[in-house]
Amino acid sequence: MLYYLFEYLESQFSFPGASVFQFITFRAAAAFILSLLISAIFGKRIIKFLQKQQVGETVRDLGLEGQKQKSGTPTMGGIIIILATLIPVILLTKLDNIYIVILIITTFWMGFIGFLDDYIKVFKKDKDGLKGKFKILGQVGLGLIVGSMLYFNDGVTIKEQLPVQQQVMQENGRKKVFGEAHKSTKTTVPFLKDNELDYSKALRFLGEGYEKYGWIVFIFITVFIVTGVSNGANLTDGIDGLAAGSSAIIVITLAVFAWVSGNIIFADYLDVMYIPNSGEMTVFILAFAGALIGFLWYNTYPAQVFMGDTGSLTIGGIIAVIAISIRKELLLPILAGIFVVENLSVIMQVSWFKYTKKKFGVGRRIFKMAPLHHHYQKLSYHESKIVVRFWIVGILLAVFAIVTLKLR
């Protein structure tokens, strides 16, 4: 809204300072500061409101140290993250940008699913919350919507670098490095010199014209990633500050990729895929990062509020959609390595337990408890130490991911 206001003031009255709103970097920085202030300042009021409504966490007895003291801590704190993200986004972004529209839809969609789950747990006193099949259905539904919008909307295109012999000087004195904008199912593969993969080539067995069915593979991949990452974020939200801190690291890294991919100069310099109009996502991403960091003010040990599924499912969904939008989804196993490991620890634990129970009559475990952070709690590590060490690993993975811009 403010973007359009100052655009009008600049065009009609040459209002001093109004032109600064044309710069993505300014609006992104403003969105970060505003979201940080909203979550840090107004978060306390939301926590008090949740306490008055008796929206307290019912903690299951898992035999973990300090667990009982957390009983009654307000949950549904993800509302703080959602509000602190959306307010700056509405004020400072181009709301007609297709990528912003997709991210707003994602925020509302996953926030609603998470809210339903928390509502059932808290007010209906059902510890299982929303049934798993309905969560999966919601995640798959979002994947179908996002995949369809990214493939079929005319505003979603890429520009690829031309061969050196086709890079000619233009009338304005600049060399034409990129070809024309076009639809594509290509994505980026880290560490490979020719670092692009076309999903449609999975259908080459169909013969001539297989490219027109590429949307099927693209949407399938989108559904898989949205489901996997949102569940990974949900599993990571098990101890104070772990999910919010780890997600903030991932999100800030994605902001770098979004800004580079949407800037034709840096895309040329770093030899990466140029995605027109995707740079606008940087404003949304930094608003989201500010909201996460502000939320940490109340969520670090000992937590004054839990994000609940309202926050964790939303976080995972947004991260997945950002990565897919900037064609960096294949980098998520590295960048979101914390989520991946948490997911794998649960899959391994459950699979091994079922296998050994069937074979030996008694189920055996790989870890003392899953997800992985609970394993370390069982080893008597204090949760603050676990969280900080996970953050350090997350930072290392983020640096490693950024290095892939040039390391091929």
pLDDT of residue 354: 93
pLDDT of residue 11: 82
User: First CA to last CA across the chain, in angstroms?
Assistant: 41
Which tokens belong to 107? 């925020």
Q: How far is it, in rounded angstroms, from Cα 320 to Cα 336?
A: 10
Residue ranges per structural domain of the chain:
2-60+77-403
What are the helix and strand counts (H, E) for the chain? 15, 2
Rounded to the nearest 5°, which phi and psi values hold at 121? -65, -45
pLDDT of residue 53: 77
pLDDT of residue 17: 80
**By three-state DSSP, how is residue 54 classified?**
coil
Closest CA to 181 of 270, 272, 273, 281: 273
pLDDT of residue 75: 86
Closest CA to 293 of 5, 10, 64, 43: 43
pLDDT of residue 171: 66
Alpha carbon of residue 7 to chain centroid: 30
Q: State pTM to two decimals.
A: 0.93
User: What residues form DSSP beta bridges with 198?
Assistant: 186
Q: How far is it, in rounded angstroms, from Cα 68 to Cα 71?
A: 6
Below-70 pLDDT ranges, the chain: 54-71, 164-166, 171-173, 408
pLDDT of residue 165: 66
pLDDT of residue 63: 55
